[in-house]
Amino acid sequence: MSGLLAHLNPPQLAAVTLPPQHALILAGAGSGKTRVLTTRIAWLISTGQVGPHGILAVTFTNKAAKEMLARLSAMLPINTRGLWIGTFHGLCNRLLRAHHRDAGLPALFQILDSADQLSAIKRLLKNLNVDDEKYPPRELASFINAHKEQGIRAAQAEAYDDYTRRRVELYAEYDAQCQREGVVDFAELLLRSYELLKRNEPLRRHYQERFRHILVDEFQDTNRLQYAWLKLLAGRDGAAATLDGACFFAVGDDDQSIYAFRGAEVGNMRDLEREFAIENVIRLEQNYRSHGNILNAANALIRNNRGRLGKNLWTDAGAGEAIRVFDGFSDIDEARFVVDEARDLVRDGFSRSQIALLYRSNAQSRVLEHQLFTAGVPYRVYGGLRFFDRQEIKHALAYLRLIANSDDDTAFSRVVNFPTRGIGTRSIEALQEAAHRANSSLYNAAASLGGKAGASVGNFIRLIETLRAETQVLPLPEIIDYLIDKSGLRQHYLAEKEGRERLENLDELINAATNFLQEEADTFSNPAESNPLASFLAHASLEAGEHQAGEGQEAVQLMTVHAAKGLEFDVVFITGLEQGLFPHDNAAQERDGLEEERRLMYVAMTRARKRLYLSHAQTRMLHGQTRYCLPSLFLEELPEELLRKIGHAPAFAPETPAYTTDSSGDRASYSESATSAGGLRIGQGVHHAKFGHGVIVAAEGCGPEARVQVNFGAPGMKWLALEYAKLTPT
């Protein structure tokens, strides 16, 4: 027993050895929560308080469940095979398999993954002759899943208008189809399991008596239905908590709740504390990952959130280095700095795989990937696709390829029915046979098709011909913008629940084209000898095929902040720290959105072990146009004494990076050249007594004649004389 508990610090030991009672463990980032959870199970079993089969432990990922089982096997001489340790979906599947008759399911019911569910919905819409453009399958799937995750069946769903009423009817039809076919989707696993326990008292009582200890990992990420399912098993569904029934041991961190968009309810932690009358809230605050300056900055940031349960991370590893803050002129300048710094770090002995470049939005990866590609630095996009491999980018490029070369059968096949335009598999097969007989491309064979297939494919051919004709004289970025609209891609993704990020990526493709033209300006100086569209397509293909590291190869890690949760690195760069980007514009439109963004920033900062970089740019390309940016308010919330500013951009973009190197090898300050009149810079944030906060977008004159143009947002653009305006820099 002493060996089991030997490596625990005092709060960890207190949590592991709690007597049988409900408890909430606030486990900060890097504080050893998995060790506590696993050791708690081992201690309960070792001391004879419960048998292995009296434990129910719930995790959020299969990886976490496997790690917990592996650690238990090393701690205890028991067979972990039959233990109820797993994800919500895995445990619900196990419950429904054991009681399939009571659940109204066949013994061999099948589980639909996301792709299977989408196919089932498409088939349903076709069978019911429902217009899938008016009721997009992905949007309908999101509608159904969101209701199931709230525990709402079609019969209880509210319909505010005719459109919603029809979606509710389709939800009911979908459920009926799944029941006939003996299949369940992921959301159904949990809802069906909850309903089974709710209505079947003998079965519920059986499991309540069996599971004497319920332990939950990452409790801050639970949604309402998951919490309701846990309360049923703990015997606390709507009743005041007593010491009867199972002991509930929840481990989580309200400061790391970043999945509201998936339905996670950070308020579940407060509800748990109240409904289970929890007296033992144990805080794990000693961090075993990061140096002190990183933790102190993260603590200062998260204190700005209201209603926290509260904790303060600390370490005995020392203060470490100051947090480096880089202010670039543009997003390209920022990316160049990040990549140059990453190469220097590798030369200094850091492993590439221990360097992470984080960003708020997937679209931001494009400019970073381009700089890595240019510099010849191997990289890996964690938990996602490289920019030019993303579905929406491939679709847009396929349209561009068809405009450039109508004989490109691969591009033709990709978009002939995307977005959907009623061209089915049989029509495609008929077209392929016609092309084979004529030894021609699919595009040229289209004229030989008759009937409905010929009409549908003919409409697509006319669309491509129109796109080609109407983009002849447009510059490359405008060709892409026009194509995204006229092809239907923009409208298609607007209708998707998760389509906003895909639209951001399509906008970034326009930026990529703009930057490409700037970088290759000399090549295109003589239009008669160049073809920007063909050159850009070749450039995209080359970047898509290069520098993504192979398996086992050392590579710089790229990922969104959401994807970084649970990971740690020696060096972390958090890029794009600008208002509207991080925190994201969407945060202003959602209840408590800014607080969730701040938690996301907290998660990002606490991924770093030894060195943390924060970077932002004064200008950033958006939809092919330069946008002037204000630094993120999160930067203002960090204590100045913990920061080391290593870059400051001039008012106009330098031809080469304008930073110099100081004696310590770090990037030093920019020279203050090209500042506007009065010492203010284009792109700088200012405050005006009447108009509020704004950003300088233009300047002219000098001395008493100096004036600046400021974008104040809602009040609009204003030209102000510096002698009288009394602008305060922010």
Are the beta carbons of 196 and 102 closer than 8 angstroms?
yes
List, in sequence order, the alpha helices (H) in 211-364: 224-234, 268-275, 292-302, 331-347
Query: How far apart, in Å, are the Cα atoms of 374 and each of 34, 340, 660, 667?
Result: 41, 11, 21, 20
Chain length of the chain:
730
* Catalytic choice (149, 175, 185, 217): 217
Handedness of CA 583, 320, 327, 722 (dihedral sign): positive
Q: How many CB atoms lie within 10 A of CB 691?
A: 18
Q: How many CB atoms lie within 10 A of CB 697?
A: 16
**What token pair was written down for 282?**
């144990």
Q: How many CB atoms lie within 10 A of CB 64?
A: 20
Give the 3-state secondary structure of 213-250: EEEECCHHHCCHHHHHHHHHHHCCCCCCCCCCCCEEEE
* Catalytic choice (12, 33, 408, 667): 33
Q: Which amino acid is at 427?
A: S
3-state percent breakdown (helix, strand, coil) of the chain, nearest 5: 50, 15, 35
* Catalytic choice (17, 21, 34, 626): 34
* Catalytic choice (149, 185, 188, 218): 218
The question of whether 433 is a catalytic residue gets the answer no
Gap between the Cα atoms of 319 and 128, Å rounded: 65
Query: How far, in whole angstroms, is CA 714 from its chain's centroid?
Result: 29
The question of whether 59 is a catalytic residue gets the answer no
The question of whether 607 is a catalytic residue gets the answer yes
Nearest Cα neighbor of 231 from 251, 256, 208 is: 208
Question: In this structure, what are the phi and psi dihedrals at residue 299, rounded to the nearest 5 degrees?
Answer: -60, -45
Handedness of CA 33, 35, 41, 47 (dihedral sign): negative
Are the beta carbons of 712 and 718 closer than 8 angstroms?
yes
* Catalytic choice (256, 354, 364, 514): 256
Handedness of CA 159, 164, 168, 171 (dihedral sign): negative
Question: In this structure, what are the phi and psi dihedrals at residue 567, rounded to the nearest 5 degrees?
Answer: -105, 165
Query: How far, in whole angstroms, is CA 273 from its chain's centroid?
Result: 29
The question of whether 116 is a catalytic residue gets the answer no
The answer for residues whose C-beta is within 8 angstroms of residue 70's C-beta and 6 or more apart is none
- Residues 216, 217, 221, 226: what is their CA dihedral angle, to the nearest 10 degrees? -30
* Catalytic choice (192, 311, 607, 707): 607
Gap between the Cα atoms of 312 and 299, Å rounded: 6
Gap between the Cα atoms of 653 and 673, Å rounded: 11
Q: How many CB atoms lie within 10 A of CB 664?
A: 8
Gap between the Cα atoms of 318 and 414, Å rounded: 55
Largest CA distance in the chain: 86
The question of whether 169 is a catalytic residue gets the answer no
The question of whether 256 is a catalytic residue gets the answer yes
The helix (H) or strand (E) run that includes residue 404 is helix 391-404
Query: Any idea which residue has 């100086």 for tokens?
Result: 525
Nearest Cα neighbor of 398 from 352, 342, 460, 339 is: 460
Q: What amino acid positions are annotated as catalytic residues?
A: 33-34, 217-218, 256, 607
